[in-house]
Structure 1
Amino acid sequence: MKTAPIVPARVDFSGAIPSAPDFGDAYHAPSGAFVQARQVFLGGNGLPERWAGQRRFVVLETGFGLGNNFLATWAAWRDDPARCGRLVFLSIEKHPLTRPDLERAHAATPEPALARQLLDAWPALTPNLHTLDFEDGRVRLMLAFGDAHAWLPELVASVDAFFLDGFAPAKNPDLWDEAVLRQVGRLAAPGATAATWSVARSVRDGLTAAGFEVEKRPGIGGKWQNTVARFTPRHRPPVPPGRTAIAPDTQDVLIIGAGLAGASCARVLTREGLRVTVLEGGATTAPQASGNPGGLFHGTLHAEDGPHARFSRAAALATERELRRVEPALPWLQWGLLRVERDPQALASMQSLLARSGLPADYVQALSVESASAKAGLAVSQPAWFFPGGGAVSPPALVTAWLEDAARSDGFQLRLNTPVDRLRRDEAEGRWSALNAAGDIIATADAVVLCGGIGSDPLASPWAAGARWPWVAQRGQLSVMPQDLAPPTLALPVAGLGYALSLPDGALCFGASTDGGDMDPALRASDHAQNLDRVRALLSSATMPDTLPLVGRVGWRSLVPDRLPIVGALPAGVPERRAEQARFWPRQPGLMVMGALASRGITWATLCAELVAAQLTGAPWPVETSLADAVDPARFAARERRAPE
């Protein structure tokens, strides 16, 4: 998906109703935004009655605007004793409001408490799918910032109700054309409904062509009629295996591995109401690189804004939201991160790239050496990118917080010292079993998520069709300069070729070395020396002693050559057609992997776990399909099929 800078909405507040001068139209009817929402969109879709007793109900809105339809729907859900278990509201907006304009738009809202929560959660205006959770995750707002023509084909969701809301077709025809309405039909769940205040013939014909049965109903606010529709298609094309829910009826899940990947999956899957058992072969949680005393999280940017940059940005934004939620449970968390460039003359090119990208200052800033040094509290060597939502945290503490979250749910178990030797599938019962080396069953479940890094390979290989995953275990040694050596103190973490951060006890943590395929657990003086050289290059003013600090830690990261994680269901066989595309590969029912998090475990874990949960249960996916394809476990086999003979 090609992204474009987000241009905020221009809102005219001078009249009785907020309007958009760029479209020559008002944001809602004269009768009031909430009246319109309740009568046209909620009433036109048979809500709240239709969501009664459902585990999940999904709404898709084609224009978020001021957010009144979402707030009215949330209020109706809150006030309904028969409400669904989870309400997911997916909305697209090409020109979102800035936070100050959004606050002004809701100054006199009939739901001030809900509006305040929306304002507090309002995301950076980046071209991403932003997932905002409310009501302890029972109400989810998914905001896709960008053009509907680009976003709708990229969404995976089974939508129960459509709010077709945008400026009038005559004022904003792009949001009502055949391509948009065709995607509405593609995303519709069986029995889905749609409602809009527009009765334009082109809109009604477009809905009919998309498989809806359309009728007019009495309107409100001076309009004679509105349009309602029900999805009654004659034929639906088959959905590729890689786009369907892997095990939507799952009740219990085994997670193998208790590092960042396993803990994040445990938190997300228990939130979905599933019973979760985490099996860890070691004596403690957070093994390998997840056990480091400090770790970084931050986004990135590139001129092309390709899959790696877009995935890392989406993941960083998700991680920032999650860490703000869990922050009270963490003993230590630093906000803000500097990523130092290598070229001392890079500032002009950095500023040019930032201007072209359109990324806002609350996501990333380009800083001079002087400004970066002021942020760091020490002189840095080069200009730097500043990520306000990045920072540093203790990975073991984060793992503990996520597992404690999961433990608040019924049916959660954490079993240490429980290595898994292999998996077995009972086709008759549709269940997976984890076995030990003696062949005894350790535990069974409807689904399994492999979260043990490269240690998952022996468990995955017998079940994964196609090319083997080209992942490796990369040895990394970090160095710690204890407080008694009087290390320099950083106000926030600094990264570049290597990284450095000050720990709560005053020690300086820095590194880390990278040695592919080396399994030696012993600390090395040569690696300490390399880490010292790198920190000296980052911090030009830092006085580092010549005596090597022989304190440190060795761990292993799993990674693959394309520098993206492996997330999703394992391919079960080679497709007869289109094997060069990952989404067409059949999948093992209920067997998933989340791995190859490399050195970005903290940054990637939250988004990857959300994707696992969505693919497993059938919830709307938290990323666009082009990014899901980029991390798909079947991508390696698909690439092999595309390779020239």
Structure 2
Amino acid sequence: MKTAPIVPARVDFSDAEVAQAPDYGDVYHARAGAFAQARHVFLGGNQLPARWQGRTRFVILETGFGLGNNFLATWAAWREDAQRCERLVFISIEKHPLTREDLARAHARSPAPELAAQLLAAWPPLTPNLHGLSFEQGRVRLLLALGDAREWLRELVAEVDAIYLDGFAPARNPEIWDPWLLKSLGRLAATDCTAATWSVARPVRDGLTSAGFAVEKAPGFAAKGQMSVARFAPRHGVQRPPGRQPLAAHAREALVIGAGLAGAACAHALAREGLAVTVLEAHAQSASEGSGNPGGLFHGTFHASDGLHARFNRAAALATQRLLAELPALPWLQAGLLRLESKLDHEAMQALLQGQGLPPDYLQALGAVDAATRSGLPLQSPAWFYPGGGALPPRAYVHAMLQAAQARLLTQRPVAALRAGGAGWQALDGQGRILAEAPALVLAGGHAGLPLLQGLMPDLPLMSLRGQLSHLSPASPLPHLPVAGAGYALADGQGGLWCGATVQAEDADPRLRDSDQDSNLSQWAELAGLPQPPRAPLAGRVGWRLVTPDRLPLVGGLPAPEQTGRQDLLRGLKRLPGLVLCTALGSRGISWAALAGQVAAAQLCGSPVPLEAELLDAIDPARFALRWVRKAH
């Protein structure tokens, strides 16, 4: 998916009754009222709330978020319905979203002021991403896709129950009513999907018909005499790709192996999906391996081409930022992060940033003087500043996620083997006894999960990297915020400093080494612009990171032994039922865990995946096997 800078909407608020879009020469909603229009056209046209009643999950797709009134009206109707579905997922695409300031103006007199205030508080940086906003303790989710609708409809991984076709008039905004766009809706439609729009234009009705919908006219709203309603009635049954099928669609319980960052994030996301979660941990407490470091960083990345890694890291960092805002406060959290730039000058950095159009609440380019002032260090180089990044104690983060999930944590339970059968998947101890079982299983055990993984997918090219952190106490100077570059450093809050870390492949030595300490202190001196490395007694921590050759995680289902469909596409590969892998988070465990857990949970439960298809393929555990197959042919 090729990203483009997000250009915010220009909104004219001069008319007190209805906001206007001067670039399209149209109004955002009927003068008779945005909520009244939403209730008549979109809720009524899709027979809501009746159709969502009694369901576990109901998914709505909207083709133009606009001011957000359709979402707010739907959320309000869900709240008011005593027989509402357990979970409501609202996917909305918007090419020109409102700035936070304009969104506040648009809802200054909202019929649902409490809901509008929550939306405003959760409003994301305007980056070309699929932003997953959570409300009502996760029971209402807004997946806001910022960018071109034609691009996003190719990339959404979801099955939707109702479609809101909204946007400016077809004559003024033909892109959103494009025949290809309308036809592509059939790929996302569930068997009983409906659609509604205020438009009765012939191209709109023909486009819906070509997508497999039976279209009718219905009484319109206010001055509009008629509107269009539709139900999905394709001539031929729609077959979903095997690799996109839910792995445990009807599960109400899940078993997670591993209580580190990956396992805790999966437990939290599965609980948000309504599952009761049991977590098995081999050690006496959670976060005992790599997740047990005293502190760690989280932030996005930036690249001029905005390729796979930059896009995934940005999506993950934003997901982490949102999750931290939902969780109980951690013992400490250092907000904001500087990443030093060694190749580009400040002007070049600004030019690249301007070319991508990334907003300042996601990323800023700072000159050396500003970077030094912000960090409190004698820095000599410019830096990238991530306002939403920072540092935190990983173990406390793990505890917070497990607590919020109300997960049942069973420690000192090393899993020796897995067995399919019984209630779904069984975790066995060394004597073959069942430790726990559930219809849904997440393998998130990091290094501890490698023996289990070998029995399921033995050819994964995983590497174990040893890393040593160093601790200086006291330390001077101390950075005001975490600083990264060639290594990283963060204050410990007690006058000391953690810095590092070394990287050694396939090194099992658990001892602190003087040579590694010297390397870390030299790196710290270079990072901070110090004239020479400080001297300090040997102190720190050793841990191991599990990584892949392409430095992306492994999240997704594992290929089944027998395949019948297309084996040259990841989405064509049938997967083992009930099992998902979430591991190999490398040195970015804090940054990646939240998004990885949400993706894993969505794949198990069949809810819309909060990641576009191209990035989902990029982290698929089967990607390496598929590359080998392609090379062989």
TM above 0.5, yes or no, is yes
One-letter identity of the residue aligned with 2:374: K
Corresponding position of 2:76? 75
- Pairwise CA distance, 1:544: 4.8
Matched, 1:502 2:495: no
- Pairwise CA distance, 1:437: 1.4
Q: What are the superposed Cα offsets for residues 189-220 of structure 1, whole Å, 9 maximum, x if unpaired?
A: 11111110000011111111111111111112
Corresponding residue to 1:423 among 418, 421, 429? 418
CA distance in 2, matches of 1:542, 1:595: 40
How is 1:198-347 mapped onto 2 (pairs within 5 angstroms)?
198-326=199-327, 328-343=328-343, 346-347=345-346
CA distance in 2, matches of 1:237, 1:358: 39
CA distance in 1, matches of 2:581, 2:476: 40
CA distance in 2, matches of 1:604, 1:87: 25
CA distance in 2, matches of 1:135, 1:440: 40
- Pairwise CA distance, 1:592: 1.2
- Pairwise CA distance, 1:543: 7.0
Corresponding residue to 2:467 among 443, 468, 476? 476
Corresponding position of 1:531? 520
One-letter identity of the residue aligned with 2:127: T
CA distance in 2, matches of 1:66, 1:574: 48
- Pairwise CA distance, 1:636: 0.6
Q: What are the superposed Cα offsets for residues 115-135 of structure 1, whole Å, 9 maximum, x if unpaired?
A: 111111110000000011111
Corresponding position of 2:408? 413
CA distance in 2, matches of 1:518, 1:160: 51
CA distance in 1, matches of 2:459, 2:25: 56
Corresponding residue to 1:521 among 502, 510, 522? 510
One-letter identity of the residue aligned with 2:424: R
Corresponding position of 2:613? 625
Corresponding position of 2:8? 8
Secondary structure at the counterpart of residue 577 of structure 2: strand
User: Which deviates further from its counterpart, 8-17 or 489-498?
Assistant: 8-17
Matched, 1:609 2:625: no
Q: What are the superposed Cα offsets for residues 134-192 of structure 1, whole Å, 9 maximum, x if unpaired?
A: 11111111100000000011101111111100011111111112211122111111111
Q: Which runs of 5+ in 1 are unaligned?
A: none
How is 1:106-125 mapped onto 2 (pairs within 5 angstroms)?
106-125=107-126
Secondary structure at the counterpart of residue 588 of structure 1: coil
One-letter identity of the residue aligned with 2:614: S
Secondary structure at the counterpart of residue 477 of structure 1: strand
- Whether the aligned pair in 2 keeps the contact of 1:378 and 1:542 (CA below 8 Å) is no
Secondary structure at the counterpart of residue 336 of structure 2: strand
Corresponding position of 1:137? 138
Matched, 1:378 2:369: no
- Pairwise CA distance, 1:24: 1.2
One-letter identity of the residue aligned with 2:462: W
- Pairwise CA distance, 1:60: 0.6
- Pairwise CA distance, 1:577: 5.3
- Pairwise CA distance, 1:644: 5.2
Name the CA shift for 1:168/1:83 in 2 (closer, same or farther; >3 Å): same
- Whether the aligned pair in 2 keeps the contact of 1:454 and 1:472 (CA below 8 Å) is no
CA distance in 2, matches of 1:24, 1:575: 53
Corresponding position of 1:394? 393
CA distance in 2, matches of 1:65, 1:542: 54
Corresponding position of 1:360? 359
- Whether the aligned pair in 1 keeps the contact of 2:315 and 2:595 (CA below 8 Å) is yes
How is 1:25-174 mapped onto 2 (pairs within 5 angstroms)?
25-174=26-175
- Pairwise CA distance, 1:108: 1.4
- Whether the aligned pair in 1 keeps the contact of 2:423 and 2:437 (CA below 8 Å) is no
CA distance in 2, matches of 1:633, 1:588: 12
Secondary structure at the counterpart of residue 97 of structure 2: coil
- Pairwise CA distance, 1:541: 4.2
CA distance in 1, matches of 2:537, 2:383: 27
CA distance in 1, matches of 2:360, 2:336: 12
Corresponding position of 1:511? 500
One-letter identity of the residue aligned with 2:575: R
CA distance in 1, matches of 2:459, 2:51: 46
User: Which deviates further from its counterpart, 178-187 or 511-520?
Assistant: 178-187
Name the CA shift for 1:628/1:47 in 2 (closer, same or farther; >3 Å): same
Secondary structure at the counterpart of residue 477 of structure 2: coil
- Pairwise CA distance, 1:82: 1.0
CA distance in 2, matches of 1:48, 1:335: 41
- Pairwise CA distance, 1:430: 5.4
Secondary structure at the counterpart of residue 489 of structure 2: strand
One-letter identity of the residue aligned with 1:223: K
Secondary structure at the counterpart of residue 579 of structure 1: coil
One-letter identity of the residue aligned with 1:445: A
- Whether the aligned pair in 2 keeps the contact of 1:381 and 1:537 (CA below 8 Å) is no
- Pairwise CA distance, 1:463: 2.3
How is 1:164-203 mapped onto 2 (pairs within 5 angstroms)?
164-203=165-204
CA distance in 2, matches of 1:11, 1:208: 33
CA distance in 2, matches of 1:376, 1:644: 51
Corresponding position of 2:541? 553
Q: Which runs of 5+ in 2 are unaligned?
A: none
CA distance in 2, matches of 1:301, 1:575: 38
CA distance in 1, matches of 2:531, 2:594: 34
Corresponding position of 2:441? 448
- Whether the aligned pair in 1 keeps the contact of 2:6 and 2:128 (CA below 8 Å) is yes
CA distance in 1, matches of 2:240, 2:366: 47
- Pairwise CA distance, 1:257: 0.6
- Pairwise CA distance, 1:11: 0.9
- Whether the aligned pair in 2 keeps the contact of 1:488 and 1:542 (CA below 8 Å) is no
- Pairwise CA distance, 1:236: 3.2
User: Which deviates further from its counterpart, 11-20 or 632-641?
Assistant: 11-20
One-letter identity of the residue aligned with 1:174: E
CA distance in 2, matches of 1:324, 1:114: 17
Q: What are the superposed Cα offsets for residues 46-82 of structure 1, whole Å, 9 maximum, x if unpaired?
A: 1111111111111110000000001111111111111
Name the CA shift for 1:575/1:110 in 2 (closer, same or farther; >3 Å): same
- Pairwise CA distance, 1:542: 7.5
User: Which deviates further from its counterpart, 142-151 or 274-283?
Assistant: 274-283
- TM-score (ref. length: structure 1): 0.96
One-letter identity of the residue aligned with 2:295: G
One-letter identity of the residue aligned with 1:364: L
Secondary structure at the counterpart of residue 269 of structure 2: helix
Secondary structure at the counterpart of residue 455 of structure 2: coil
Corresponding position of 1:590? 578
How many residues of Structure 1 are paired with residues of Structure 2 in the alignment?
632
- Whether the aligned pair in 1 keeps the contact of 2:468 and 2:516 (CA below 8 Å) is yes
Matched, 1:349 2:342: no
- Whether the aligned pair in 2 keeps the contact of 1:9 and 1:97 (CA below 8 Å) is yes
- Whether the aligned pair in 2 keeps the contact of 1:341 and 1:382 (CA below 8 Å) is yes
- Pairwise CA distance, 1:584: 1.4
CA distance in 2, matches of 1:67, 1:136: 20
Q: What are the superposed Cα offsets for residues 454-484 of structure 1, whole Å, 9 maximum, x if unpaired?
A: 33222122223xx71111110000001123x
- Pairwise CA distance, 1:280: 0.8
- TM-score (ref. length: structure 2): 0.98
- Pairwise CA distance, 1:19: 1.1
- Pairwise CA distance, 1:381: 3.2
Secondary structure at the counterpart of residue 95 of structure 1: coil
- Pairwise CA distance, 1:244: 1.1
CA distance in 1, matches of 2:447, 2:4: 36
- Whether the aligned pair in 2 keeps the contact of 1:454 and 1:471 (CA below 8 Å) is no
Q: What are the superposed Cα offsets for residues 419-475 of structure 1, whole Å, 9 maximum, x if unpaired?
A: 11111112xx451111111112211111211111133222122223xx711111100
User: Which deviates further from its counterpart, 393-402 or 440-449?
Assistant: 440-449
Name the CA shift for 1:380/1:111 in 2 (closer, same or farther; >3 Å): same
